[in-house]
Amino acid sequence: MTAPMLVPDRPSGRLTDAWRHCVGAGRFELALRRDYQDSLALVQREIGFRHIRQHGLLSDGVGVHRPYEFAGSRRVAHTYTYVDQIVDAYLALGVRPFVELGFTPAALASGDQTVFWWQGNVTPPESPKEWASLVRSTVAHLVDRYGLDEVRGWPIEVWNEPDLSVFWPGADQDAYHRLYEMTAHAVKEVDASLQVGGPALSPGADDDWLARFAAFVTERSVPIDFVSRHAYTSGPAQPVPFGSYQTLRPAAALLEQFAAPRRTLAGTALAGLPVHITEFSSSYRPDNPIHDTAFHAAYLAPVVAAAGDLVDSFSYWTFCDMFEEAGVPATMFHGGFGLLTHRQIKKPTFHLYAFLARMGPDVLARGEDHLVTRDAAGHVTVLAWAPADHTGQSTVDGHRVRLSVPVGRAGHAFAARSSAGEDAGNARAAWAAMGRPASPKPRQLDALREAAEPVRTHRRVPVHDGRAELDLTLGRHEVTLVEVSPVTDETPPWFDDSRLFG
């Protein structure tokens, strides 16, 4: 039998909060819905993200840009009724905007190209002056309502994936540079301490795109406080009615994409800036069912455990199923890691993040299938995961992780284990067993909520020479959390379980 891996007693580093810095969501006005806010409340209670990022802040659905005619001339009003309701709700839940400035209001657009089912206009503004005024007004309103000290902590990102023609006509980089320049200056005109950045590149962007952007902002002294890009591992969509399938690359490809911006910017004036991955997942498509599976949590586990060493944040796309890029969801499972429209039923990837939220800040050990941390009180926490084959051709059932963890001088330790996988914490598997009902009945929903909870077990572990041995066997695509704490025995001398029956 192989000896357990000896986990060091001294920390080797810190577990950053890059994984919880930001999370993605559907278009901005969806946050007006009560079920959306209820789902976000659940996410905040169990995970606690710092920021939330969405498309469409300036699109027509939010109603900020309101042109009108008076006394024979065209004028523009800026109204923030929806913006205020949404941001107020966010702050009440302890999450702040990661502001994405886009897309173009139809009355300000230079063309009619749109993206998504909800038709966000992605053409450059017809009037640079009017666009700059819109940006200044919006940012100034946020500062006026929420205070400069608050808003200077909200990153402000200019546009979304301009290197793709679907988001920016012709993927015209020179045109994006002009948009970025006037937008960044407009933000800084409100206050120089506000954070502005970009270019929010797609995973397919070549290194030259970012290098040319860096050269442009440097040569023209354009303000930039952070660099952003996206990361996905999915191949071309294979459409089916109300859904799509895609091939995947290995999860390590995400880490390669995370590392790319700093590699490209080395030696440039932007080399020291924060790097934010403002979207990441396996697939960018909400209608790909891969998001709902136990495989997905095991696939992403090694990424979220290691990526904080590469970037300042990486934002999962998206937190809930209220996500209408491809239209109103036609199936129960749709894109996010929490089921908002069906009473907040959780998915395995939700549990992965909830497990991370319970880990300590000091890293004791990292491996290809585990992460071990300790908190200030000395409690040791182990996150372990089964291997996930990105092709789906081979799966491992019965993966073993053996660790010897330091727990102090106690004679015993208490080990509490929470697990999600193919047979636990997996609402999709239960839904499939039900026959995939399109509109589950109340009793079915109750059963799905129960099936969505991780399996929890506990046991008492002997401690020898200040160490407890954990021998974990993981099922297919299982992600498990083990919280280990020393036991102080307070059993009175008259307690005798052997006498329970007299």
As given in the structure block, the two tokens for residue 495 are 């307690």
Q: Is 279 annotated as catalytic?
A: yes
Pseudo-torsion of CA 55, 44, 477, 463, nearest 10°? 150
Alpha-carbon span 171 to 92, nearest angstrom = 38
| CB of 470 closer than 8 Å to CB of 382 | yes
Find the catalytic residue in 279, 325, 478, 483.
Answer: 279
189 is catalytic: no
Please give the C-alpha separations between residue 420 and each of 81, 285, 477, 478, in angstroms, as whole numbers: 41, 24, 8, 6
Q: Which of 29, 161, 325, 478 is catalytic?
A: 161
Burial 27-64 (b: 16+ CB within 10 A, else e): bbbbbeeebbbebbbbbbebbebebbbbbbbbbbbbeb
CA angle centred on 153, ends 130 and 61, rounded to 5°: 40
Rg of the chain, C-alpha, whole Å: 25
Q: Is the peptide bond before 495 cis (omega within 30 degrees of 0)?
A: no
Measure the CA–CA gap between 162 and 137, rounded to whole angstroms.
Answer: 23
Q: How far apart are CA 40 and CA 52, in angstroms?
A: 10
DSSP string, 461-485: EEEETTEEEEEEEE-TT-EEEEEEE
3-state secondary structure of 208: helix
- Positions marked active-site: 161, 279
